[in-house]
Amino acid sequence: MQERQQISDVDHDRSLSPDGIRLMQSSDGLGWEGFVVRTYEEPAAMELWRVPDTTALTLILVVRGVLHMEQRRLDGPWTNYVVRTGDLFLRPPGRAPYELRWTASEPTRTVHIHIDRSLVLRTAASLYRGDPSQIEVIEQVGLQDALLTQLGLHLGAALEHATPADGIYAQSALQLLVTHLIRYHAATRNDTSDPTGGLTRQQLQRVVEFAQAHLDQAITLEALAQQTGYSPYHFARLFRQSVGMSPYQFVLRQRLERAQQLLHETEHPLLEIARDCGFANQSHMTRIFRQQLGTTPRAYRRLRENIAGM
């Protein structure tokens, strides 16, 4: 309960800030144990906002608006993003404070879900052997994940006419959300933070650029390894140490993310998108969507269209 109170205090300070961030709805007082859900209206422009650290795992869903955003660690260089309706932010607990600034054509709406670390640890323990504290959700900006988007929308909508009975529904949705995060958006600490055992940043960049430039083709382990100068065996081991997944899983995720982008930004036929992203055929793409996102490409496209029309 102490951790939950810290979640409330951090976000309550934010809702009262003079920056124009307005709290719309909140699950405070509804008896939802282990997590807090709030919806906000964000101003169209933010000159500078310092985001405090938190003990909670935080997921933020943009439900309305397009933001041209910059983010940096304190006194560090700025990184630019374009964040659209349906995009997500993931912030693990224990992250250092950072700064944001953004512009948008209109005020934006967001759903914030703050999850107690104890719930994350219990879920990790049920999914993996070993020490669950070594499992860490990967920090991400502008993430696209159809299942997380659906769950975020449902939890936000549950606040509109919430009753005590809705707590069971919300808890079930939250458990599915955390399970999905740990399965598909997490890695072990040893895989993500070992400074001596992985590839260099330059090597990783070459691998990423090569993969993204050849997604419409078959990408072999040998071709990826050539970008680093290592043998395929050593490359596969070092790559996993660096990014927390195998080269095969990485390429598959790149294909999936490219397909999500094309489904959102174009009206290309599904067969054409499957080909351009390197899937064997449309059925193969559909199977991967079901496995990784819990939905089909056609349903994902409809969801993005519905969100854009909100």
User: Could you state, in order of their start, the residue ranges of all structural domains in the chain?
Assistant: 2-190, 194-308
Q: Which residue, among 42, 46, 43, 82, has the nearest Cα to 66 in the 3D structure?
A: 82
Cα-Cα end-to-end distance for the chain: 36
pLDDT at residue 2 tops 60: no
pLDDT at residue 246 tops 60: yes
Which residues touch 175 (CB under 8 Å, ≥6 apart)?
123
- pTM > 0.75: no
pLDDT at residue 286 tops 90: yes
155: number of CA atoms within 13 Å, CB side? 32
What is the four-CA torsion angle of 26, 30, 31, 32, rounded to 10 degrees?
A: -50
Q: What is the pLDDT of residue 309?
A: 60
Q: What is the pLDDT of residue 238?
A: 87
Which residues touch 288 (CB under 8 Å, ≥6 apart)?
252, 255, 256, 279
Superfamily classification of domain 194-308: Homeodomain-like (1.10.10.60)
Calculate mean pLDDT across residues 110-133: 88
Q: Which residue, among 167, 143, 181, 142, has the nearest Cα to 34 in the 3D structure?
A: 167
Q: What is the pLDDT of residue 78?
A: 86
Give the whole-number percent of the chain exceeding pLDDT 90: 32
What confidence tier does 111 reach under pLDDT thresholds 50, 70, 90?
very high
> Tens of pLDDT along 197-207?
678 888 888 89
Calculate mean pLDDT across residues 189-203: 61
What confidence tier does 94 reach under pLDDT thresholds 50, 70, 90?
confident
Mean pLDDT for the chain overall: 83
Could you confirm whether domain 2-190 is CATH 2.60.120.280? yes
Q: What is the pLDDT of residue 307?
A: 64
Q: What is the pLDDT of residue 197?
A: 60
